[in-house]
Copies of this chain bind each other. A is one copy, B any other.
Amino acid sequence: MAKGNSKIVNEFFWPVRVYYEDTDSGGVVYHTNYLKYMERTRTELLRNHGFEQDQLKEQENIIFAVRNINVDYLKPALFNDLLQVGVMIKRLGPASINFAQTITREVDDILLCQAEIKIACLSADSLRPCPIPENIVRTISHAG
């Protein structure tokens, strides 16, 4: 990254194995399952920063909800493939986060799928938008 660039963009990766449950009779991973892999990876990103979503709900009364997904399917993943799912914060708003996510095949590093996903922070009680807790903002805006 160019010197003087004050913004360090970190990408977090999570490995996912393709099991029979993930495939369809076309012989490839069923298209909605790539989006499940992406959510697992967002969950692991938060856990990696010390945030457990069951505790966020109980202690901070917040949950995260998907607002928009824009996903491109480039190449299919197959049964038994090992995948690397990437996630990067693209924009951090007061009550929402835009993530850029990718899925690549481990063996040859080929990009299979990419998406931009907007998540809203909601009050667990009212399900209305609410500010992302400050400690989360501070942690993830520095750490990627």
What's the nearest-Cβ distance from chain B to residue A76, in Å? 8
Copies in the complex: 4
Q: Is A60 interfacial (CB-CB < 8 Å)?
A: no
Q: Is A13 interfacial (CB-CB < 8 Å)?
A: no
What's the nearest-Cβ distance from chain B to residue A72, in Å? 5
Residue in B closest to A20 when the chains form the complex, CB atoms? B24
Question: Could you tell me if A79 and B35 are in contact, using CB atoms closer than 8 angstroms?
Answer: no
Of A17, A26, A52, most buried by chain B (CB within 10 Å of CB) is A26
Please indicate the chain B residues that have their CB under 8 angstroms from the CB of A17 in the complex.
Answer: 40
Please indicate the chain B residues that have their CB under 8 angstroms from the CB of A27 in the complex.
Answer: 25
Given A25-B20, A32-B35, A36-B21, the answer on whether A73 and B80 have CB atoms closer than 8 Å is: no
Question: Could you tell me if B36 and A19 are in contact, using CB atoms closer than 8 angstroms?
Answer: yes
Q: Is A143 interfacial (CB-CB < 8 Å)?
A: no
Q: Top 7 closest A-B pairs, CB basis?
A: A23-B25, A32-B32, A54-B80, A31-B66, A70-B70, A25-B79, A21-B36
Q: B-contacting residues of A (Cβ < 8 Å)?
A: 17, 19-21, 23-28, 30-33, 35-36, 39-40, 43, 52-54, 63, 65-73, 76, 78-80, 127
